Structure 1
Amino acid sequence: MQNLPKKVRSKKLNSRVDLTAMVSVSFLLIIFFMVVGELSKAKAMELNLPDLDCDDCRPAYVEENRSLTILLGKNNRIISYSGLIPTPTNTSKKMQYGKNGIRKELLEKNKMALEYSAKYGKLGKGVVVIIKPSKNSNYGNLIEILDELKIADIDFYNIDSEFTLEESKLLASK
């Protein structure tokens, strides 16, 4: 017998893979996509507009004691009055944005309108706000007023761009 070379067998190594790092990366990716998904959700206020194709749709009559008109002018000016402009139920006021300005006015008017409605058996009928932005006001002013309406929990409002002659004079005079 000849000396045949012996076959050398290699040692079998343990082929175990440590998955700790991959699990950590997976959890980080899951958290990342959950946060991105939450932050990318649209945060918008619902705006209901009338149906323009409806021939039978007419604006509803609003009692003077339940209406508040807000005029938006240039340089962040806000002028509000209650009732109709020829015979307002209170004098027009120039005010500012914020909790001591228009928000306070909205809360007071809504409380008064709810009391007035309850007195005459129409529970839950709060103030109806008519917002009239002028051509000189900016888009941010309208958004701020809509935010104030949401904070004051006022559901009924109208955005109107048509100014009467008296309203134009009122906005220009102050």
Structure 2
Amino acid sequence: MSAEVQESSGKKRGKGKQKKMTVRVDFTPMVDMNMLLITFFMLCTTLSKPQTMEISMPSNDKDITEQQKSMVKASQAITLLLGADNKLYYYEGEPNYRDYTSLKETTYGANGLRAVLLQKNAAAVNQVRALKQQKLDLEITDDEYKKKVSEIKSGKDTPTVIIKATDDASYMNLIDALDEMQICNIGKYVITDIVEADEFLIKNYDAKGELSQNLADK
């Protein structure tokens, strides 16, 4: 950047007349400097990584699917049914189609689904919290922390969550449910299609057991 000063006196009209001065600043070198700074920051700045979420999807192989189902203990399984109007239902283990109270209704809030999952996965949650404190105290490295957390989440005593959405459920409902999987340290969860039996559970629950009673009377 440079500046030039030009003097312009003109014709002399008197002793007290001051000379006029014109200042011109050349900003051309600033363009090159700005380009160098932009290039420097582009090369030295770490680009933010996109936030991704791993989702386990059911396999199309019937043999593998049946094998996976048999490996899931009923006492450790919890099924979420995402209904219309932001309604959320769940049942643990095998559903009881004759007792409509076996299906429970909850919400997507912290006092709803999160409380249910934290209670179901309490042991793993406490272990992850202890590991997080060890990482903060620099007792373990970040890589060791991630490895141990992954092992805890996939442990044999941790719950398996099965997520099923009705046609009337919204994408936001599914996203909210998936967010709770991460918050509650659920490592084993799957999204699968809802079946007629699950839809019957919802209808029977809303009808306070009238559908199952009608079937029993026939």
Fold in common (TM above 0.5): yes
Aligned to 1:98: 109
Q: How does the TM-score come out when normalised to structure 2?
A: 0.55
Q: How does the TM-score come out when normalised to structure 1?
A: 0.67
Distance in 1 separating the partners of 2:109 and 2:42 = 36
Aligned to 2:157: 125
Is the Cα contact below 8 Å between 1:111 and 1:126 reproduced in 2? Answer: no
Distance in 1 separating the partners of 2:62 and 2:93 = 28
Aligned to 2:83: 73
Is the Cα contact below 8 Å between 1:113 and 1:127 reproduced in 2? Answer: no
Written as runs of structure 1 = structure 2, the 5 A alignment for 1:27-46 is 27-28=37-38, 30-31=40-41, 37-38=47-48, 41-46=49-54
Bigger share in helix: 2
RMSD: 3.3
Structure 1 SS opposite 2:81: strand
Aligned length: 145
Distance in 2 separating the partners of 1:98 and 1:29 = 46
1:106-137 CA distance string (max 9 Å, x none): 111122799xxxxxxxx642001111101111
1:45 deviates by 0.8
Higher relative contact order (CA 8 A, sep 6+): 2
Distance in 2 separating the partners of 1:160 and 1:31 = 45
Bigger share in strand: 2
2:172 to 125, 140, 152: 140
Structure 1 SS opposite 2:65: coil
Aligned to 1:58: 65
Aligned to 1:118: none
Unaligned runs of 5+ in 2: 1-26, 126-154, 207-218
Is the Cα contact below 8 Å between 2:83 and 2:165 reproduced in 1? Answer: yes
Structure 1 SS opposite 2:118: helix
Structure 2 SS opposite 1:158: strand
Is the Cα contact below 8 Å between 2:58 and 2:65 reproduced in 1? Answer: no
Structure 2 SS opposite 1:159: strand
1:65 deviates by 0.9
Is the Cα contact below 8 Å between 1:65 and 1:113 reproduced in 2? Answer: no
Report the CA distance shift for 1:86/1:150 in structure 2 as closer, same or farther (over 3 A). Answer: same
1:152 maps onto 2:160 in alignment? no
- Identity of aligned pairs, percent? 28
Is the Cα contact below 8 Å between 1:64 and 1:83 reproduced in 2? Answer: yes
1:138 deviates by 1.5
Distance in 2 separating the partners of 1:49 and 1:139 = 16
Structure 2 counterpart of 1:63, one-letter code: K
1:84 maps onto 2:94 in alignment? yes
